[in-house]
Amino acid sequence: MLHFVLNDRELKTTTNPATTLLDFIRYDANLRGTKIGCREGDCGACTVLLGSVENGEIRYENCTSCLTPLANAHGRHVVTIEGLNMSELNKAQEAMVSCSGTQCGFCTPGFVVSLCGYTLNPDTSLSRTAKDAVDGNICRCTGYKSIERAAGQLQEDLDNLGEAITLDALIDKKFIPAYFREIPHLLDQIESEVFIHRGKQPVGGGTDLYVQKQDEMPFMEVVFPFKYQNGTRIWKEGSRCHMAPLCTASDMMKAPFLKESIPNWYEYMKLVSSNPIRNTGTVAGNLVNASPIGDLTAILLALNAEITLKDTADRERSIPLNSFYLDYKKLSKTPEELITRTSFEIPGPGKFNFEKVCKRKYLDIASVNAAALLEENEGVIIRASFSVGGVSPIPLYLRKTSEYVQGRELSESTIMEAAEILQSEISPISDARGSADYKRLLATQLFKAHFLNMFPSQIKMSELI
């Protein structure tokens, strides 16, 4: 039995947990403000908020309900556009109206939901603005400038609240309806559940599975192994970062200790999908999906991550991620095994770099991506670890290139020689993301970019041409 709060209503349902949240909202709950656009996570017309209590505080995140299994609503507050309406316009709606941010109106509920979600969790520590919050919403009419202005106006309204952006302040100033006050108490009453794996297709956030198998999912034997798991999803223990199975890309993006040790962390993670997808797509899902261009996979390969797998008899084993990929979508894992932990040694400042080239900068999958972990001491590279995606049937750890570089002088000639070895390790094919030759060129250029970005005073670009 699934148990959650939909807007201001507590709900229990026996509806198939593999149904999409979108279909439940529109056809079971009869709330038609949430729109259907692409059903692939790209347009944001179906955006809703998911609120969960973490460490005693409620946190709201926007998500694409077209890719979210109903099961993932368990224990949470699902907020649709109807749940944000009041007797007068809320602040986000007011901003959209006064800045002419809406024309046909099809995308508007999604934009308003994302903007309201931002007001609930502005994340000032990440220097995000309201504009960043709508990176997963597409509008075909307005040309965006008016929506940008609306986001700017909302940001001003929020800034005027001063330091204390409390739930009470947001309610008093008409950002959100008053019933939000009752939600933490309602969620507290819901039993958390840790579902036992029964050897069926596991579902994390569903952002890969519901794109690949949208029609089959409701009829498949699926299991939500960690459907609703209280507790921290990402944490630091000594010098290592650990991630639970439901750790999302957003959890990684927001981890303060990663931002601290990798100064460009926020910019790197912004290159991964969009807010709503990062909020639901899990790290484990990215690794098991085994896409050769998976961004989190490329990042974690270079960071020499280790994964822990557990089978149905609760037997555990840990392996380096770089031995997980055997062939195209073939993994060193039985179908019964689940990833229960991913961990890596946190690099020091200036030791990690990530590069991604796509047809457009944001909300696009990579033509080629690449990550590097490098450490230098007195002109010698004492640690080197490289990954590259999009140039092989598997997400590629560049074993020979890494071995070659480690222990050598930090110089342009080392980089040029290593780039030759890199070329021998890759086998790109021509496809919609570029020709094989173009990807070969990109792989080399991104490899050089690691050094230029990490050692700008020691490596000269003119010597790498």
Ligand X SMILES: Cc1cc2nc3c(=O)[nH]c(=O)nc-3n(C[C@H](O)[C@H](O)[C@H](O)COP(=O)(O)OP(=O)(O)OC[C@H]3O[C@@H](n4cnc5c(N)ncnc54)[C@H](O)[C@@H]3O)c2cc1C
Binding residues for ligand X, rule: CB under 6 A, are 40-42, 67, 201-209, 211, 245, 272-273, 277, 281-282, 284-286, 288-289, 294-296, 338-339, 365
Q: Which is nearer to ligand FES, 103 or 129 (CB)?
A: 103
The one-character DSSP state at 27 is I
Among 11, 15, 38, 59, binds ligand FES (CB under 6 A): 38
Among ligand FES, ligand X, none, the one that 347 touches (CB under a kind-dependent 5 to 8 A) is none
Q: What angle do CA 80, 83, 87 make, to 5 degrees?
A: 140
C-alpha to C-alpha distance for 80 and 387, rounded to whole angstroms: 40
- Alpha-carbon distance values, 446 to 80, 119, 343, 354 (Å): 42, 37, 25, 9
Among 29, 46, 217, 338, binds ligand FES (CB under 6 A): 46
**Which two tokens mark 10?**
């507590």
Site for ligand FES in 136-165 (CB under 6 A): 139-142
Among ligand FES, ligand X, none, the one that 106 touches (CB under a kind-dependent 5 to 8 A) is ligand FES
> At residue 18, what is the residue type?
A
The one-character DSSP state at 28 is I
Among 36, 58, 171, 186, binds ligand FES (CB under 6 A): 36
How many residues are given for the chain? 465
Among ligand FES, ligand X, none, the one that 289 touches (CB under a kind-dependent 5 to 8 A) is ligand X
Q: Among the candidate windows 32-40, 86-94, 193-201, 341-349, which touches ligand FES by CB under 6 A?
A: 32-40
We find the least distance from the C-beta atom of residue 438 to ligand FES, in angstroms, to be 29
Phi first, then psi: give them for residue 398, nearest 5 degrees: -85, 80
* Helix (H/G/I), strand (E/B), else coil: 373: strand
C-alpha to C-alpha distance for 79 and 95, rounded to whole angstroms: 20
Among ligand X, ligand FES, none, the one that 36 touches (CB under a kind-dependent 5 to 8 A) is ligand FES
C-alpha to C-alpha distance for 308 and 415, rounded to whole angstroms: 34
Q: Which pairs count as long-range contacts for 236-240, CB under 8 Å and 24+ apart, including other chains?
A: 236/346, 239/345, 239/346, 240/343, 240/344, 240/345, 240/346
Among ligand FES, ligand X, none, the one that 45 touches (CB under a kind-dependent 5 to 8 A) is ligand FES
C-alpha to C-alpha distance for 317 and 337, rounded to whole angstroms: 10
Phi first, then psi: give them for residue 146, nearest 5 degrees: -70, -35
Q: Does 97 bind ligand FES (CB under 6 A)?
A: no
Q: Does 248 bind ligand FES (CB under 6 A)?
A: no
We find the least distance from the C-beta atom of residue 22 to ligand FES, in angstroms, to be 7
Q: Does 37 bind ligand FES (CB under 6 A)?
A: yes
Q: How many residues belong to the site for ligand FES (CB under 6 A)?
A: 23
C-alpha to C-alpha distance for 192 and 195, rounded to whole angstroms: 10
We find the least distance from the C-beta atom of residue 325 to ligand X, in angstroms, to be 13
Nearest Cα residue to 276 out of 29, 1, 72, 54: 72
Q: Which is nearer to ligand X, 24 or 404 (CB)?
A: 24
Q: Which is nearer to ligand X, 40 or 159 (CB)?
A: 40
Nearest Cα residue to 293 out of 309, 320, 271: 271
Among 62, 102, 289, 343, binds ligand FES (CB under 6 A): 102
Q: Does 39 bind ligand FES (CB under 6 A)?
A: yes
Among 66, 158, 244, 398, binds ligand FES (CB under 6 A): 66
Among 11, 32, 106, 452, binds ligand FES (CB under 6 A): 106
Are 181 and 168 a contacting pair, CB within 8 Å? Answer: yes
Interface contacts to ligand FES, rule CB under 6 A? 36-39, 41-46, 64, 66, 102-108, 139-142
